[in-house]
Structure 1
């Protein structure tokens, strides 16, 4: 009887990256963990052991265990039996790692995407203005520093009168 399980010895990291691209962010399902820049490294060892290293968006993220389990399951679905999922906080995750396509999907989903933090070492005292994801207006006001998750704030657009979440730039 033939084994239909793919050989992990010949598995390429690009195949694993492709599988991880289908793992949704558990708090924002319109983007994946790779769209968000959370996956930092994928290695396939000589014995077929796959190691995935990721950086959570926040160290205290309540969905950390879900992300870890989803990464492991996506790799196991490729037929890999020896999977190690590592998390690292160095370097810390930044919203600059979110890809451009994901920023647009956040906007279409009703979440204002974060402004670029930039490469400089200086702290910006004037935050980049937040634009309403529905009508595009800059006539918005923050109503809460923390939204349903630590990575977002709550806003109201004074032009279209719609409330919305805005991603914090970190």
Structure 2
């Protein structure tokens, strides 16, 4: 967009939210719920708040770089991406479209949080994204990425990743 007028904040937000997650490319950052405020900072430069799904997420640098590219494409090459830890990201921020995309790709979306405190995953609580059965059991605390664990469905005997609730 060089030489063109910079896009308005609302359009920048739309484009930033459409950036694909580097670990789950079928899921947009907006649907993952990791984009906070998109607004001019005190100096007038556009600032995008990026909430990590957890501290130390290895995808943060790739997300920030992709957002920086969008800012430049939108006519805001001096815009900045700021990592924010408060408010903390929660799986409750995943949109309905995001939960549907996870399920469509064989990843069980997390259950909604039930208030303050730890989120307990009980046996049979997470439905299988393949057959819908709630006859699921933990298989491994480690999945394809740090924010996923593996479950097994005793209904269809399939293993599937589960986005860990935070």
Aligned-partner SS, 1:148: coil
TM-score, length-normalised on structure 2?
Answer: 0.90
* Greater Rg over alpha carbons, structure: 1
CA distance in 1 between counterparts of 2:163 and 2:120 reads 18
Any conservation in 1 of the 2:127–2:133 contact (CA below 8 Å)?
yes
Partner of 1:7: 5
Q: 1:162, CA displacement in angstroms?
A: 1.3
State the distance in 1 between where 2:112 and 2:162 align: 13
Task: Within 5 Å, give how 1:1-170 maps onto structure 2.
Answer: 5-8=3-6, 11-44=7-40, 49-118=45-114, 120-123=115-118, 125=120, 127=122, 129-170=125-166
Q: Judge conservation of contact 1:12–1:44 (CA < 8 Å) in 2.
A: no
- TM-score normalised per structure 1: 0.88
- Which runs of 5 or more structure 1 residues have no equivalent in the other structure? none
Secondary structure of 1:142's match?
strand
**Consecutive unaligned residues in structure 2, runs of 5 or more:** none
For residues 82-101 of structure 1, the C-alpha deviation after alignment (integer angstroms, 9 at most, x for no partner) is 11110011111100000011
- Mapped to 2, the partners of 1:19 and 1:168 lie a distance apart of 27
More strand by share: 1
Figure out how many residues of one structure are paired with residues of the other and give that number. 165
Sort the Cα spacing of 1:143 and 1:45 in 2 relative to 1 into closer, same or farther, 3 A.
Answer: closer
- RMSD between aligned alpha carbons? 2.0
Q: Which consecutive segments of 4 or more residues in structure 1 shift more than 6 A?
A: none
